[in-house]
Structure formats: structure tokens, C-alpha cells
Amino acid sequence: MKYNITPMSAFAFCLVLLFPSLFLSACSDDAEKYVPDGPVNLSVTRDGAPVSAIDFGTYGGDVLLTLESNDYWDISLSGDGDTGWLKLSNRSGEPTVWNDAEKPSEPRYISLSASPLGSDPSRSCVVTFRAGNEAKTVTVTQTQPAEADASGWESAYIACRNMKVGLNLYNTLDAVGDWFDQEDVFAFETCWGQPVTTQAWFDAVAAAGFRAVRIPVTWHPHMDANWVIKEPWINRVEEVVGYALNSGLYCILNVHHDTGADGWLCADLENIESISEKFGSLWHQIATRFNSYGEKLVFEGYNEMLDAKNSWVEPVEGGYEAVNLLAQKFVDTVRATGGNNEHRNLIVNTYGGGNSRTRFDNLRIPEDCIAGHLMVECHNYTPSKFSNLNGEIDDDNLPVWTKEFEASLGAELDIMIDFATRNNIPVIIGECSAYEKIADEEKAKYGEFLTSYSKGKADVCCFYWSGLIDRTTGEKIYPLLVDAFVRGAN
């Protein structure tokens, strides 16, 4: 038989002779396409739990998902409008689960990164994960927080943004002692060296640029055997709260040295029922007395609550659980009093007020009958070599603010910011300070770094602990620090 070979066919024939592997490979890929051993499996989880929705809030950030599949997989984005605000670390890959001893099974971690929302309207998109005939979807949103609830009451986000920076009325209504007339409320108020509180001081705080005051109050010396708060004491507390509100300041009212080494309010799981009963009685009285006050009054459930052994590092077993139970008791008790307290913004603290990852990871945000009215508080005295938390500063060799100090403090603030963004909840730094003898210009560097660090990353406001505004004259005690502390938040 005679073949008529054209130049083109001759060229193709030569290719087959010279490079047979090219053609065999292509045929082999089609013939030996990967098929999983059994049905296709696909799972997408976050922190070990299945995930179907993520809200990045207004600040964006990163979320890490774990993908596992026994088949090749891919990821796609869909939504109304541009989806470029959400970035994925991977779009496709090979199986993570193999039935082959030479190919170990390892999960694939997929990072989702959302850019800040800024003032743009809320947005969303759908992330679809596919493997074979299996598909999982995750709805990703960025939502502007509601400015108010249905009743018009200010949300916790907006309250936090409005407060920005504040001062503590320290060592005053929280002071305790036994060397004076226990029925004299002003003796209590001044027993730790502070003068009687006046309206003028709150006016000076507001004039200096602060937006809020935290009023620590110790209640147990002023309660009778039936846990009833004595009238002269709650009258005085109400008067001081009024000073703050009269100045246009936000006011945080708390339960202070009832916690701690000398207090009765502790994270003791063995005695939780009796502690919870007394705690509920106390907050029922406070919430009832202050029910008529508006949204600028915020309640803080407890201060630095410790376990029965006063453990500052890590609590004994059950300590974290006890804090979470009492936090829930606080929220439930206040809400049950109705009226304005159905909407009031409430604050719960981590164990001991600590801001480590362990403290945040073990805090369970209380369930609430109304959304958007809870905040979380921690305290921060880092770096201790600048705050003198452990009494380690040498007065003859006072420190200056350094990049090392910035790195140390920034690392802790990052933990707090991560918690705030992952849980879509504002965070209060209820206490912070620098050692008073350090030069004012060095304290100012610390203050501005602290209050500016979280801007654009999370909703955070800071309250300085010790005296910045003279209690008698109303003058700035450390003008550079005051100005920097306020400037950093604005």
C-alpha cells in the first residue's frame, strides 16, 4: 500500500519518533487521573471547629482556616461587587490526606486576610471550597457596628470609641481601713491619703482632654450582715458618679477591692454558689439604685478577681470556670433589673485583669439577651521595668523609653487586639501607669505609644491609674504625659 506523506505529517511523524514521552505522558495523565480511595472527604475548620461564617469587623485582619481533603481542591470567591478586599493565601492544591506511605498526610492552612473597612458600608462575599463533588462555603463579612440598638441606646463599640482615654479616681472610694470610725464615709474616702472628691476635679479632668473616669468602689465594709449596702455609702457613691456625669464624662462604676487578697469575691469553684448569691445581691442593689442613669454610666462587674489561693500567675483548677460563671451572673443580674439596665453597656474582666493569651483564651464572653452591649477589660503595667510593678527600678538609675520597651508592650497589645477582632468586642485597658519618678518626657513617649498603638486595629480605650490631675488644684501633674496620653488616642 502506498502512503502519500505531506511535509506537515512528516514533521509530526518525526516528533513522535524523537519525543515519544511527550505523547505518552499526555495520554498517561488522562488515563491515570487521580481518584481518591473511597468517597471524597472535605473539611474546613477554624480552631478545630467547623466554620460557616466569619465577621472581620471594621478593622479586618487575618483568620487561619484548616483544610483537609483526600482529593485535589480549589477555592473561589463570589459576591456582589469587588471581592478584592479579601485575600487568600492559596487558591488550589493537592490532597492533604493520602493513602500512600511515601506521602504523609498534612493539613493545609489557608489564611484569609481582610483589609480595613474604614468608613465604607458593610460588605460580604462567599468563599467556596471544592474537592471532587464536595463543596463547603464560608460567608465572610465586614460590618459596621450599630451605633445604637432599637431603643436608641449607644452600643458598646460607640461608647468605647467615644471614651478613648480616661483616668481612675484611685485610692479613694476603693480605700479600706480599720483605724477610724467605720460609719464615717469621708474617713473611708480619705484613709489612703486622697482628699475628699469634688466636682472641680472632674471638671479639670474633662478640660485636660480625658473622656471618661473609672470610679473603683469597695463595697463590703459598707454592707450589713444581710449584705445590704448602707445608705450613707451608696449616697456618697451616687454623688461622686454625678460629678463625673455633670462634667460630660463617661463613668465606669465597679466592684473593686471586694476582689483580691483581702476580698470575699474570688474565683473559688468549690464555694461558687454562696459567692454567686452574695455577688448577685450586691449587683442587684447597685443596678437598681443607678437604673435611671443614661448611657454614659457603664458598669464593670469586678476588678482583679483571683482564686481562693490568690494566685496571680495561673489559677488553681476551676479558677477560670469560676470567673466565667460570675461574669455571667453579673450580666444576668443587671439585665434582670430592667429599665435602662436592659441596654446598659457592661464590662467583664479577665482572670486577675491579666492580658496574656492564656487569660484571654480562657475568658468566656457572657451570653446576653441584647447584642452589642458588652466589653472586656484587662490591665497592663508592661513593661514592669518602666511601671515599677515589681519594685525593681533603681531611683538613682531611672529608665528611659526604648525600642525594647516598645516591642515588649506591643507584643502584649497585639494579643489584646487579636482577641478584640476575633470576637468583635471592644476592650478596655482599665489600668496602666509609668513610674512617677521617671522623667516626664520619657513617660510621655510611653503614654503616646500606648494610646496610639491600637488605632486602626481594634476598638480599645485606656484608663491611667495614678494621679495625673492634681486632686486639689486641678493642675496637670505631668503635663507632657497628660498631653501625649490624650494625643495618642485622637
Predicted confidence (pLDDT) per residue in 302-329, tens digit: 999 999 999 998 999 999 999 999 999 9
Whether residue 271 is predicted with pLDDT greater than 80 in this model: the reply is yes
User: Distance (Å, rounded) from C-alpha 256 to C-alpha 181?
Assistant: 21
Indicate the SS3 state at residue 69: strand
Inter-residue contact 47 to 140 (CB < 8 Å): no
Between 54 and 24, residue with greater pLDDT: 54
Taking every pair of Cα atoms in the chain, the longest distance, rounded to a whole number of angstroms, is 126
Beta-carbon contacts of residue 59 (< 8 Å; ≥ 6 apart): 116, 117, 421, 456, 457, 458
First-to-last CA distance in the chain?
Answer: 93
**Residue pLDDT, tens place only, 445-474:** 999 999 999 998 999 999 999 889 999 999
**Residue pLDDT, tens place only, 156-188:** 999 999 999 999 999 999 999 999 999 999 999
CA-angle at 231, arms to 213 and 179, nearest 5°: 80
Q: What is the pLDDT of residue 32?
A: 55
**Residue pLDDT, tens place only, 272-307:** 999 999 999 999 999 999 999 999 999 999 999 999
Cα 429 from chain centroid (whole Å): 9
User: Distance (Å, rounded) from C-alpha 204 to C-alpha 211?
Assistant: 11
User: If you search the block for the grid coordinates 469621708, which residue do you land on?
Assistant: 186
Phi, psi of 375 (to 5 degrees): -130, 160
Q: What is the pLDDT of residue 101?
A: 67
Q: Which residues are catalytic?
A: 304, 431
Indicate the SS3 state at residue 415: helix
> Helix axis angle, 7-18 relative to 20-31, nearest 10°?
80
Whether residue 399 is predicted with pLDDT greater than 80 in this model: the reply is yes
Q: What is the pLDDT of residue 460?
A: 95
